[in-house]
C-alpha cells in the first residue's frame, strides 16, 4: 500500500501522470490502476500541474541577518518551493546558528557559505582580507557537510573594496580544498570587471545576476555575448538569474534569449523586502516573467528542478523518477493578464502566471495561500 497517490497531474509537456509515494520517496510513476491501494489520494484531474519540487538556488533567508533576512518557510513551502539555498548570508562565524534554525523548518534548507567569516554582517564583507579565513571556512564545511552545499563570493566594487580579485582567488582555493564544491559568484558594479572575474571561473561555477542591466553585464554594448563569458561557458560556467531588487533587466534577458543564451538556473535572490514590496514577490513570479519573454514552460521548470539540483549537487532532488525524494510542487498556469516589472523600471505584459498550490516535502503536503483558497484538487 502506498502512502499517497497523485492522480492525473499534468506535466510541463502537457502529458498526464500518476505518482505514487511511499516512505517519503517516489515509488511509482505512470498510469496506475484505479484499484491500487493507498492511504491518501490527491485528485488533480488534469487541472493541476505537477513537477519535481522547485529549488530556489539563490535566496537570503537567515532570519538573524542584519541586512537581508527572511524566514525559510515563507520563501519555501509557503510559496510552493521545496528546497531553498541561502546564498552567502552566513559565514563561518554564524552558519552554526543558521543550521539549527533550518533544521526546524518544513522546507529543505541549505547554505552557500560566504567566504567571509562574518557573512552579510555588513555590505563590504570581502573588503578586509582578515575576514577571509580558508581554515575557518573549511572547518565550517566539515561541521555541516549536508547543510553547506557550496560557497559564495560577492565580486562587486562595493563588496570587495580595494581587495580586487583576491577574494575570488581565495574562493577558488577554498573550492579546491573542499572537494570542488559549487561556487556561486555575484557580479555587480565594477571593479573588478566581469572579464577578469569570468577568466577565473569554469566547470560548474555559477555566475549569478547573469541578466543584470548594469554596465558590468554579460552582453556588450552591441548586445552580443562578451567573448570572455563565452569562453567561460565553454569551460562549463553556468548562468544563474538571481533576480533580486537590482539585478534583472528584461532588455538584457530578451537579447540573450533571442541568441539562445538561456539561464541554467532561475533563482529569486529573495528576502523580506523584495518579497513583500516586489519586484520579486516569489520564485513563481520570477519564473512567470520568463514565460512572458520567450522561454517555454518546460524550459522554465528545468531551471528550478533537475538543472538546479544537478548544479548544486542535490542528490535525489529535482527529478521525477522512482527512488527520488517525494519533493513535488503542484501548481496552475493561470491565463490572466499581468504586468511584470524588472529592476530597471521596465515592464512587460504577460498572459500567463504560475500559481503554486502546494508543496510536498518527503511526501508531506503543505498548502500555499493559493492552494487553501482555490480548492483546485481533492484530497
SS (HEC) of the chain: CEEEEEEEEECCCCCEEEEEEECCEEEEEECCCCCCCEEEEEECCCCCEEEECEEEEEECCCCCCCCCCCCHHHHCHHHCEEEEEEECCCCCCCHHHHHHHHHCCCCEEEEEEECCCCCCCCCCCCCCHHHCCHHHHHHHHHHCCCCEEEEEEEECHHHHHHHCCHHHHHHHHHHHHCCCCCEEEEECCCCCCHHHHHCCCCCCCEEECCCCCCCCCCECCCCCECHHHHHHHHCCCEEECCCCCCCCCHHHHHHHHHCCCCCCECCCCECHHHHHCCCCCCHHHHHHHHHHCCCCHHHHHHHHCHHHHHHCCCCCCCCCCCCCECCEEEEEEECCCEEEECCCCCEEEECCEEEEEEEEECCEEEECHHHHHHCCCEC
Residue 144 annotated as part of some ligand binding site:
no
Residue 209 in marked binding region: yes
Q: Residues forming the annotated binding site for Zn(2+)?
A: 58, 60, 152, 186, 209, 269
Residues at the annotated binding site?
58, 60, 152, 186, 209, 269
Amino acid at each position: 500500500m502506498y502512502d499517497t497517490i497523485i492522480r492525473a497531474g499534468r506535466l510541463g509537456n502537457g502529458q498526464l501522470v500518476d505518482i505514487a509515494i511511499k516512505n517519503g520517496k517516489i515509488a511509482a510513476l505512470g498510469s496506475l490502476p484505479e484499484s491500487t491501494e493507498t492511504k491518501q489520494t490527491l485528485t488533480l484531474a488534469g487541472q493541476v500541474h505537477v513537477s519535481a519540487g522547485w529549488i530556489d538556488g539563490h535566496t537570503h533567508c537567515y532570519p538573524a541577518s542584519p541586512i537581508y533576512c527572511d524566514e525559510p518557510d515563507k520563501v519555501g513551502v509557503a510559496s510552493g518551493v521545496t528546497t531553498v539555498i541561502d546564498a552567502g548570508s552566513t559565514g563561518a562565524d554564524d552558519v552554526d546558528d543558521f543550521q539549527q534554525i533550518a533544521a526546524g523548518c518544513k522546507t529543505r534548507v541549505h547554505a552557500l557559505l560566504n567566504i567571509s567569516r562574518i557573512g552579510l554582517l555588513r555590505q563590504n564583507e570581502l573588503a578586509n582580507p582578515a575576514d577571509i579565513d580558508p581554515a575557518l571556512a573549511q572547518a565550517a564545511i566539515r561541521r555541516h557537510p549536508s547543510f553547506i552545499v557550496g560557497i559564495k563570493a560577492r565580486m562587486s566594487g562595493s563588496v570587495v573594496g580595494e581587495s580586487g580579485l583576491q577574494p575570488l582567488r581565495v574562493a577558488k582555493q577554498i573550492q579546491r580544498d573542499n572537494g570542488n564544491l559549487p561556487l556561486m559568484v555575484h557580479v555587480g558594479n565594477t571593479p573588478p570587471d566581469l572579464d577578469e572575474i569570468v577568466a577565473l571561473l569554469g566547470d560548474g561555477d555559477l555566475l549569478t545576476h547573469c541578466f543584470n542591466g548594469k554596465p558590468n553585464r554579460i552582453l556588450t554594448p552591441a548586445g552580443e555575448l562578451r567573448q570572455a563569458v563565452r569562453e567561460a561557458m565553454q569551460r562549463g560556467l553556468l548562468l544563474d538569474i538571481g533576480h533580486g531588487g537590482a539585478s534583472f533587466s528584461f532588455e538584457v534577458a530578451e537579447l540573450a534569449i533571442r541568441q539562445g543564451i538561456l539561464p541554467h538556473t532561475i533563482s529569486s535572490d529573495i528576502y523580506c523586502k523584495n518579497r513583500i514590496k516586489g519586484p520579486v514577490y516569489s520564485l513563481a513570479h520570477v519564473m512567470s516573467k520568463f514565460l512572458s519573454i520567450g522561454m517555454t514552460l518546460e524550459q522554465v521548470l528545468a531551471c528550478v528542478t533537475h538543472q538546479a539540483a544537478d548544479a548544486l549537487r542535490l542528490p535525489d532532488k529535482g527529478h521525477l523518477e522512482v527512488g527520488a525524494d517525494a519533493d513535488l510542487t503542484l501548481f496552475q498556469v493561470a491565463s490572466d493578464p499581468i504586468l511584470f516589472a524588472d529592476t530597471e523600471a521596465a515592464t512587460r505584459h504577460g498572459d500567463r502566471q504560475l500559481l503554486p498550490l502546494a508543496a510536498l516535502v518527503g511526501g508531506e503536503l503543505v498548502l500555499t495561500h493559493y492552494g487553501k483558497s482555490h480548492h483546485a484538487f481533492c484530497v
